[in-house]
Amino acid sequence: MAVIGHRTTLQEFVTSDWEGNGQHDGLDAVIMAIAEGSIRVQRQVQQASLADALGTTGETNVQGEIVQRLDTASSDIFVETLSQSGHIAVIGCEEIEKPVIVEGLVADGYIVLMDPLDGSSNIDVAVSIGSIFGIWQKKPGETVNEDSLLRPGNEQVAAAYVVYGSSTVLVLATKNNVCGFTLDSESGGFALTHPNIKIPADCPYYSTNEGNNKVLDEPTQKAITLLRDKYSQRYVGSLVADFHRNLLKGGIFAYPADQNRKEGRLRLMYEANPLGYVAEQAGGAASTGYERILDIIPQQLHQRTPLILGNKDVVEQTVSVIKGG
């Protein structure tokens, strides 16, 4: 089925009068490298069963989690496409212990932190998964090293994610501007389908792992009960897919700290910061339950955080209950 009429392509968008373009030289090339990588990852995800590429590698990553074969393949693909963009200084990746410092860079450069394949438990079962990217710009004259990556989320210049679902959608956020692009299987590229995304004022959904209720502290249990009493539950178990639905339809995602996960479950640098940035640019909010996600000064590359994410009002109400208010 051909697309009727001309839609703005991602390439046209990032080289046009786009906010990211005027102020950040080379950011367009970084976004196109993410798009190129995601098209390759999407093919691998679709073909994985046929190519016998599912299952685990038999290794555990730096976080002590079992590594899926597609985790490794996705990580390799994005490291390759980003490195070849000519505008990357350093890459931090959920699957790689140490940052990948890209050699041969002259002046400008971006710092990308990524979860190359989010939703590990859904990889083998044909359920939506995705890739998440936070993008920072190197400071003028800065020599990059491991510490260059430990910057707060509020210094991101852009963030993006891709959902590999019933369609493949790339969402790109710069300051006050969030747009969605759908992969067109006819042209092989992304086309603008969701301009100027804002989280709807209504909040029909809440997304949380109810199985953790018994290990939540009392105020957090109360906060989740209030969500349950008011909203319908939707929980895919892939953060990127849960967030994407809540961004378009309205909703709140909550993975708070609990007795078993005192630091939280999700990764600050690869998941919470990029999606927190997207949420805020779309009028939403992101909190640990105690502070704004984007204000956290990171201590470690792979650190975890509690995450309450989505509609601003509902995030604020939930945070106030978690704080015992």
Q: Which residues bind ligand AHM (CB under 6 A)?
A: 65, 115, 118-121, 209, 237-239, 265
Name the segment binding Mg ion (CB under 5 A); options: 66-74, 112-120, 147-155, 175-183. 112-120
Asked if 242 interacts with Mg ion (CB under 5 A), we say: no
Which of ligand AHM, Mg ion, none interacts with 237 (beta carbon under 5 to 8 A by kind)? ligand AHM
CA-based nearest residue to 247, from 219, 306, 207: 207
CA-based nearest residue to 318, from 153, 206, 242, 239: 206
With respect to ligand AHM, which residue has the nearer C-beta, 192 or 248?
A: 248
Asked if 115 interacts with Mg ion (CB under 5 A), we say: yes
Name the segment binding Mg ion (CB under 5 A); options: 34-42, 59-67, 110-118, 150-158. 110-118
Asked if 118 interacts with Mg ion (CB under 5 A), we say: yes
With respect to ligand AHM, which residue has the nearer C-beta, 20 or 99?
A: 99
DSSP, collapsed to helix, strand or coil, labels residue 68 as: strand
The minimum distance between CB 129 and Mg ion, in angstroms, equals 9
The minimum distance between CB 277 and ligand AHM, in angstroms, equals 17
Site string for Mg ion, 3-42 (x = CB under 5 A): ----------------------------------------
The minimum distance between CB 143 and ligand AHM, in angstroms, equals 30
Total length of the chain: 325
Which of Mg ion, ligand AHM, none interacts with 59 (beta carbon under 5 to 8 A by kind)? none
Work out whether the CA dihedral 132, 306, 69, 47 comes out positive or negative: negative
Nearest residue to Mg ion on Cβ basis: 118
The minimum distance between CB 55 and ligand AHM, in angstroms, equals 15
With respect to ligand AHM, which residue has the nearer C-beta, 14 or 223?
A: 223
* Non-local CB neighbours of 9 within 8 Å, separated by 6+ positions: 187, 189, 190, 191, 192
- DSSP 8-state code for residue 35: H
CA separation (Å) from 14 to 8, 23, 179, 274, 321?
10, 12, 11, 19, 41
Q: Which residues of the chain form beta strands (DSSP E)?
A: 56-60, 66-68, 88-93, 100-101, 110-118, 129-137, 158-164, 168-174, 177-183, 190-194, 205-207, 232-233, 251-255, 266-267, 285-287, 304-305, 307-310
- Residues found near Mg ion in the complex (CB under 5 A): 115, 118
